[in-house]
Amino acid sequence: MRLTNRCYAVTGLGYSAPWCVNSGFIVGDRLTLVIDTGANTLAARTVHGYACAARPQNELRVVNTEKHFDHIGGNGFFRDLGIDVWGHAGIERTGGEFQAEIAEFNDAIQCAVRRNRGEARVFFSDTRVVNPNRRITEETRFELGGCTAEILLTPGHTATNISVWVPDERALYTGDCLISGYLPNLDAGGPAEWRVWLESLRRIESLEPAIAVAGHGPVMRGDGIQLAVDTVRKVLEQAIALGCSPTACVGNVGS
């Protein structure tokens, strides 16, 4: 999906029902910045194909918006092509964690026959854990040629969350700092992390983007962005007051 002259979104990549996950890319005159690689190699191939088609002659660079496997699962595909993957210095996932992810997916299969066949492994075919090979320790800028992408530290959902801001296009890629349509996932932290998340929301709100791609859900424009910010903020404030995430306080948060 082309969003602006230089910004694209790859939305609805496969994940775990009812969740889908988003990726995207920014096309400069000489460098294309890919934002997140999806949950698996299948998704990474799709993202790579779109990014190459948009400007075939460009060098590619990848940035991960956080540490969860739905955002970094396709890293291995890009690294095998010699493409650098940038990510927060705190991203350090293990093979054991990845195997646990596959097992959790498999346990969620309702059909016992398919579950017993281990069909979740098909989703993760040719996928392995690959952490970023270039570490982000502070906010920085990537000069893409004709435009700049600003890497912003926006922790909260996890300590590793970053957002990517393209000021010339007024386009923002938020990772899971902002969620479109879905209930935000607070289960990776507690009240201290949620307070940090509120600060990150204020940070991205102050940018006044015209278009935003969240980690999950439809692309947002105009007033829809503020609505999403307000929704996540309300959930965070209620969770802080109750001391538990909305999925742990079923029937309380959001009521």
Question: What does 141-183 look like in DSSP terms, one character per residue?
Answer: EEE-SSSEEEEEE--SSSTT-EEEEETTTTEEEEETTS-SSSP
Instruction: State the greatest distance between any 2 C-alpha atoms of the chain, in Å, as a whole number.
Output: 54
Q: Is residue 115, in this structure, part of any structural domain at all? A: no
Strand partners, 152: 163
Contact 212, 228 (CB under 8 A): yes
Domain span including residue 15? 7-93+129-242
Q: Give me the CATH number covering residue 164.
A: 3.60.15.10
Q: Is residue 51, in this structure, part of any structural domain at all? A: yes
Could you read off the pLDDT of 42-69 as tens digits, one per residue?
Answer: 999 999 999 999 999 999 999 999 999 9
Q: Is residue 152, in this structure, part of any structural domain at all? A: yes
Q: Is residue 101, in this structure, part of any structural domain at all? A: no
Q: Is residue 111, in this structure, part of any structural domain at all? A: no
Burial of 4 (0-12, 13-18, 19+ CB in 10 A): middle
pTM for the full predicted model: 0.95
> What local confidence, expressed as pLDDT, does residue 252 receive?
46
Query: Whole-angstrom Cα distance, residue 163 to residue 157?
Result: 12
DSSP category for residue 134: E
Q: Is residue 114, in this structure, part of any structural domain at all? A: no
44: helix, coil or strand? helix
Contact 204, 174 (CB under 8 A): yes
The CA angle 191-224-48, to the nearest 5 degrees, is 85
Q: Is residue 98, in this structure, part of any structural domain at all? A: no
> What local confidence, expressed as pLDDT, does residue 250 receive?
60
* Successive 10-residue mean pLDDT values, the chain, 255 residues: 97 93 98 98 98 98 98 98 98 97 95 97 97 98 98 97 98 97 95 98 97 98 97 97 87 41
> What local confidence, expressed as pLDDT, does residue 61 receive?
98
> 153 Cβ partners below 8 Å, 6+ apart?
88, 136, 138, 139, 161, 162
Q: Is residue 207, in this structure, part of any structural domain at all? A: yes
Rounded to 10 degrees, the C-alpha dihedral 152/155/156/158 comes to 120
Structural domains of the chain, count: 1
